[in-house]
Amino acid sequence: MATGSVSTLGIGSTLDLQGIIDGLKEADEATITQKENEITELKATQDEFNVINAKLLAMKSSARNLSLGSNWLVRTSSVSSDNISATVADGTQTGNYTVEVDRLASQSSFISSGFEESSSSVHIPTTQKSANGFDATTDTFLAEDDTMVITYGTGDDAKTISLTGAAGGYTLDDIVNEINTHTDNDDGSGGTYVTASTYQDSDNKYHIQITATSGGTGADNKVKVTEPPDTTGFAADDATFSYRLGDNTAISLSITEDTSLTDLVTQINEDENNPGVTASLVNTGIGTSPYKLVLTSDDSGEDNRIAITTNLTDLPLTEQNGSGYIMESESTIDPSAYIVITQAKGNTDFVFQEDTGSGYSSDITATIADGAYNDGDELAAAVEKAMEDASAASGSSIDYTVAWNSSSSKLEISEAGTLTNLNIKWSDAGSTAATDLGFTNDLAITPSASSLNAAVKVDGVNYQRQTNSSLTDLITGITLTLSDTGSSTITVGQETESLEEDITALVTVLNEIVSEIDSNDDYDEDTDTWGSLAKSSSIQTLESTLLSNLGLTIDTGSSISSLYDLGFEVDDSGNITLDADALSSALSTNFDDLKTFMLGTDDVDGLAETLNDYLLELTMGSGYIDSETSGIDDKIEALEDSIEKQQEVIDSKYETMTETFVQLDSYMRQMESMSNYVSEMFSANKSSDE
């Protein structure tokens, strides 16, 4: 029977048996209560160690931050104007950098003339050819009573030429004669609208070709066989549209008759060989022909300049952005025929003038190296070198580009975009190479206004770049993005705020640790209790050891060898301080010495590393704090085991005592009952005697 489980204990004996048991048990459990109080005190000590450990870890975090060389390389930056933005990498040389943006990089673009509708054709056929071949004199081309209808022009002004096969039909020669002499084909001025002729294919078969007699282009000269004979169909040859992006190979597209503006946009954009050009259709909303096709390079810069190498007759394109930058020879040249450039022939020189912003220079003569050039690229390279050598000799050192356009068989001359104007005097008597290079007339271009490259000057040095963003090679450690023209100053400084915070934190946290220890290691007379750290002998030395480590003298050879050089001080009350002004001054005027003191040298550990190692020993898994708290855990566990065993003994003792008291109470109840019975008998006998 468990102690206290019998609520009627003592009823039989009228004795407070339960009270007797409880009192005895409480006396026996006094040692357990003492041990439980000891556990409470140990846990309070352990909690306090955890509080101190958290502060030591905070102190270690600051020491570790100060021991990392990368944290002493962090930079701040500011830009004086919003025309550029700058991202500065750690370790960048501090100082001021002047950046002048003269021109932003832009994308090459072309725009077409206007069209009435988005469905307007960009390849209007002015010639139609029969699909099938015939014997010109024997095969029937147009059978008897069969019809053939040809239209010339479009809309209300279109002319219709209707032909009907005569008896026996028309041969190819017959239909050619019939078309050319037909009354419907008479333009009223002694001429014809269309002209029919034949041509022979590779199989020696003859075809009919019907062409606008005027030789003109556009809708007014459109030729269409609207009702072909049963013997053959008619179609126009495909047109070719080709362009080049930068130095890439020219891209050629085959354009079928009546391809619309919309269709061409799709064809260009979906071409698997597209090198980076986007076609779009814009509605300007201006006039009766508002629809225009626009070609734009996907990326900026001269390396992405678009060159139209073969234009569509019905789609004239004009260079919009970058116009006038390239100078092209007027006539084609044939290097395969060996263009011989020699002093003996007197064809080595040409004369040009450069305008760097203050007007044209005096005449500069470029001399092409002697050679027999049968390759366009080699000839272009020789001309480019001649121009650059002559420019350097004149004191300008302009960067020129001379390219060979294999599609047009012409030379193309451009400049990197630093000049205001360039004038090549091909008609000058000194320009003896003009004819062989395909030039006749004087030509001028305005490179600086039309170059697609960004023009940037950094601390007086000129640069050109293909793009406006992520420019990493102009200033070491700085990534620039250009957004507008103008001048800016980039100021790069040493970031010291975080360093100042970490150095200050070492002292601040040390004060907190000292305060925490002092508040918990003394006797409190008001509560008649000892502090939670009073019984820890090792904690008493932690305060002085921390203070000693923080005030270490580190011989790194710098002018700062101790925190005492920064106003580190302990006053009579035990308050630990650091002179904020002295620290700020050291960071701004004596940064390298402070850095050396904290980081150390190859031979000597700095204060930060020394502190970090010491604090690691205190806070790591097997360190001082862990050992202390683990020891407390062991004591608590031993006490809890002792309490559990002692409680089992006491519970067993008083369970047995309770059972004994129950039996005693029952016996006492029986004795009392017998006593009452005897008393009643005596009383009865006495009454009867009377």
- Is 124:236 a contact under the CB 8 Å cutoff? no
Count of other CB atoms within 10 angstroms of residue 435: 13
- Please state which of the ranges 327-341, 461-475, 492-506 shows the lowest mean pLDDT: 327-341
Which two structure tokens, joined as six digits, stand for 642?
Answer: 């002792």
Predicted confidence band of residue 593 (pLDDT cuts 50, 70, 90): very high
Q: Which residue carries 């009223």 as its tokens?
A: 188
The mean predicted confidence, pLDDT, of the chain is 88
Of residues 225 and 442, which shows the higher confidence score? 225
Closest among 307, 303, 319 to 416, alpha carbons compared: 303
Task: Indicate if the pLDDT at residue 649 is higher than 60.
Answer: yes
Count of other CB atoms within 10 angstroms of residue 175: 25
- Report the Cα 519 to chain-centroid distance in Å: 54
Which two structure tokens, joined as six digits, stand for 47?
Answer: 């909690």
Whole-number pLDDT of residue 687: 64
Q: Residue range 26-54: average pLDDT?
A: 77
**At a CB cut-off of 8 Å and minimum separation 6, what does 262 contact?**
118, 119, 281
- Please state which of the ranges 79-93, 369-383, 541-555, 652-666 shows the lowest mean pLDDT: 652-666
- Is 333:437 a contact under the CB 8 Å cutoff? yes
Q: Which residue carries 């009377």 as its tokens?
A: 690
Closest among 444, 443, 471 to 455, alpha carbons compared: 471
Angle between helices 30-67 and 497-518 (to 10 degrees): 160
> How many angstroms separate the CA atoms of 432 and 344, rounded?
12
Model confidence over 305-340: pLDDT tens digits? 999 989 999 999 999 998 888 888 999 988 888 899
Whole-number pLDDT of residue 583: 94
Task: Indicate if the pLDDT at residue 449 is higher than 90.
Answer: no
Task: Indicate if the pLDDT at residue 4 is higher than 60.
Answer: no
Model confidence over 284-300: pLDDT tens digits? 999 999 999 999 999 99
Angle between helices 624-689 and 17-28 (to 10 degrees): 160
Whole-number pLDDT of residue 523: 64
Q: 455: burial class by Cβ within 10 Å (0-12, 13-18, 19+)?
A: buried
Residue-wise DSSP of 218-245: SGGG-EEEEE--TT--EEPPPEEEEEEE
> How many angstroms separate the CA atoms of 251 and 496, rounded?
57
Backbone angles phi, psi at 659, to 5 degrees: -60, -40
Q: 60: burial class by Cβ within 10 Å (0-12, 13-18, 19+)?
A: buried
Model confidence over 54-69: pLDDT tens digits? 889 999 999 999 999 9
Which two structure tokens, joined as six digits, stand for 593?
Answer: 């010495």
- Please state which of the ranges 188-192, 441-445, 505-509, 529-533 shows the lowest mean pLDDT: 529-533
> How many angstroms separate the CA atoms of 654 and 25, rounded?
7
Please say whether the dihedral angle defined by the alpha carbons of residues 207, 212, 217 and 222, taken in this order, is positive or negative.
negative
- Is 497:71 a contact under the CB 8 Å cutoff? no
pTM for the full predicted model: 0.74
Q: 679: burial class by Cβ within 10 Å (0-12, 13-18, 19+)?
A: exposed
- Is 212:153 a contact under the CB 8 Å cutoff? no
Q: 422 pairs with which residues across the strands?
A: 354, 445
> How many angstroms separate the CA atoms of 243 and 348, rounded?
32
Report the run of H or E that residue 608 belongs to, with start and end. Answer: helix 607-619
